[in-house]
């Protein structure tokens, strides 16, 4: 299974084959891993559109909105996947963001933390 370098921008939801000036996370991925990453980015885009639609309603609270919960859950899944296939620099950057609770748990290698 050949793995190639790719450059991912979560905010722009792009995967490039060459680095650009945009903030990007470097990964090494097989074709299967790349397809999975694309699915996760597409899901994040759909979730973002749902939360954006709610944002313009002044009386609707985000804290009780299931779309916000899905957005947060899927964003965490996306970063966890990027972490899994990322370079050491990418992993260090994600760790510094403190967005993956399993990285803060010293027992993250145990079953149930995957």
What is the domain partition of the chain in residue ranges? 1-48+71-103
H/E/C letters for each residue in 27-58?
Answer: EEECHHHHHHHHHHHHHHHHHHHHHHHHHCCC
* H or E element that contains 91: helix 88-97
The larger pLDDT score, comparing residue 84 to residue 60, is at: 84
* H or E element that contains 5: strand 4-9
- Model confidence pLDDT, tens digit, residues 21-60: 878 999 999 999 999 999 999 988 777 766 665 555 555 5
Sheet holding 14-16, edge to edge: 14-16, 4-9, 25-29
The pLDDT of residue 62 is 52
The larger pLDDT score, comparing residue 14 to residue 53, is at: 14
Question: Average pLDDT of 61-73?
Answer: 62
Of the pLDDT bands very low, low, confident and very high (cuts 50, 70, 90), residue 14 is: very high
Give this prediction's pTM: 0.76
Largest CA distance in the chain: 51
């Amino acid at each position: 299974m050949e793995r190639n370098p790719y450059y991912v921008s979560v905010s722009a939801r792009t995967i490039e084959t060459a680095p650009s000036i945009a903030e990007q996370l470097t990964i090494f991925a097989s074709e299967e891993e790349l397809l999975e990453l694309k699915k996760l980015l597409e899901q994040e885009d759909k979730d973002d559109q749902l939360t954006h639609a709610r944002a313009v309603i002044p009386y609707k609270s985000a804290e009780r909105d299931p779309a916000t919960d899905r957005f947060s859950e899927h964003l965490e899944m996306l970063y966890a996947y990027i972490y899994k296939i990322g370079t050491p620099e990418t992993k260090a950057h994600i760790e510094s963001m403190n967005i993956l609770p399993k990285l803060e748990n010293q027992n993250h290698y145990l079953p149930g933390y995957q």
